[in-house]
Amino acid sequence: MDREPNRPAGTVAAFVQWLTAQSTSLLRGSINQAVMFVLTFYLLFYFLRDRESALRGIERLSPLRTAETAYTLSRLAETVHAILIGTVLVAAVQGTLGGLIFWWLGLPTPVFWGLAMGLLAIVPVLGAFLIWVPAAIYLALEGAWASAAILTVWGGVVVAGIDNLLYPILVGNRLRLHTVAAFVGAVGGIVLFGASGLVLGPAVIAVTVSLIDILKQRLSDQPEAELTPKRDTKPSRQSRAAPDRE
């Protein structure tokens, strides 16, 4: 009986403590994101301005031959370009599909909402669902259950599914990788690295494949006698050649 008056005060104190911890975590996360954002563009400026110097420095530090380093860097550049182009194309398709269903259901400003869904689809953490889910809830609250169901199925199956279907095909073809490898690289990269894994995942796979190609080329250029450790033979000129790949 004596502890009853203290319960509201204890509840308020616990709530204030939880709110303080959440606010601190949010503030810390916001500061970290802001710092990473500034550093990204700061480093990007110098990488773009001093691109040639950076490439020469990578060639000097790389343990690979000059042609092999150039080949690996070219594969990495192709990977980044393919991911950017593929992401924009898939987002455009998702925005178009979302705008079409908004127009078909008679929702206001379908062009605007389609553009918004396309822009949100570019961000890995976000997506077009931030637009069509509230719209489906609004239709359900208005009593349009059939329209809400159609929008939910269209958004959850078509709009969201086209990403998993179209992205690996577009990116995989440009990366010269199998669709499964490109899909695993994108999904695994996001799981391991977060939003930046959308680029880092396929980039790691592309670099790994290029290194395997270089190793296969070196081994194929070596005579059979040189692969035997018992024989003391010098590397031939052919084994010193760079891999005949672009």
pLDDT surpasses 80 at 118: yes
Predicted pLDDT of residue 243: 47
SS (H, E, C) the chain: CCCCCHHHHHHHHHHHHHHHHHHHHHHHHHHHHHHHHHHHHHHHHHHHHCHHHHHHHHHHHCCCCHHHHHHHHHHHHHHHHHHHHHHHHHHHHHHHHHHHHHHHCCCCCHHHHHHHHHHHHHCCCCCCHHHHHHHHHHHHHCCCHHHHHHHHHHHHHHHHHHHHHHHHHHHHHHHCCCHHHHHHHHHHHHHHHHHHHHHHHHHHHHHHHHHHHHHHHHHHHCCHHHHCCCCCCCCCCHHHCCCCCC
User: Which residue from 238, 216, 207 is spatially nearest to 75, judged by alpha carbons?
Assistant: 207
Q: What is the CA radius of gyration of the chain?
A: 27
- Compute the average pLDDT of residues 181-199: 74
Question: 167, 199 in Cβ contact below 8 A?
Answer: no
Query: Hey, how many other C-beta atoms are within 10 angstroms of the C-beta on 214?
Result: 20
CB 98 within 8 A of CB 117: yes
Of 77-86, 134-143, 223-232, give the lowest mean pLDDT range.
223-232
Its pTM stands at 0.59
Res. 217 pLDDT band, cuts 50 70 90: confident
Average pLDDT, the chain: 76
- In this prediction, residue 195 carries a pLDDT of 67
